[in-house]
Amino acid sequence: MKLNRIRVSVETDKRLRHLKARTGLTPNLLCRLGICLSLAERTPPDPIGHLDTDGREFNRYTLTGPWDSLFLALIRQDCYERDLPLPESLEEQFLAHLYRGVLLLSMRVKGLEDIEHLIFEAVDARR
């Protein structure tokens, strides 16, 4: 995957700034949580409409941290389960999950305590 520098949309950047103000969490942590939320959804993310890349630019490793390989493996698995061609779809799906994840977070998180609720929901769903 050649996606080393990621430019997000203005709307996604705005949502990340609002989430940071509400939670105190940095955008990279918020993006990681968002990608996980998006991957947990049963429906595929909509890659159409995410063409605006006039927002902030990130280094992919800054977003994913030491779990970069894990995030890529999870997205690869998601592509495989949806019969999407690899590696062509990987970059598009990474961005689609990032965008949808930030949107989901912005709708569900009003403060740091909501992050705790998301974690408990995820743990309960695994049981």
| pLDDT for residue 51 | 64
* Mean model confidence pLDDT for the chain: 88
Q: Model's pTM, two decimal places?
A: 0.89
Specify the higher pLDDT residue, 53 or 37: 37
Specify the higher pLDDT residue, 8 or 51: 8
**Can you tell me the distance from the alpha carbon of 65 to that of 60, in angstroms, rounded to the nearest whole number?**
8
Q: What is the pLDDT of residues 71-97, one digit of tens each?
A: 999 999 998 998 888 877 788 899 999
**Can you tell me the distance from the alpha carbon of 43 to that of 102, in angstroms, rounded to the nearest whole number?**
16
Pairing of strands 5-7, 57-59: antiparallel
Domains of the chain: 5-126 (1.10.1220.160)
Q: Determine whether 83 is exposed, middle or buried from the number of CB atoms within 10 Å of its CB (0-12, 13-18, 19+).
A: exposed
Cα-Cα-Cα-Cα dihedral sign, residues 69, 33, 90, 56: negative
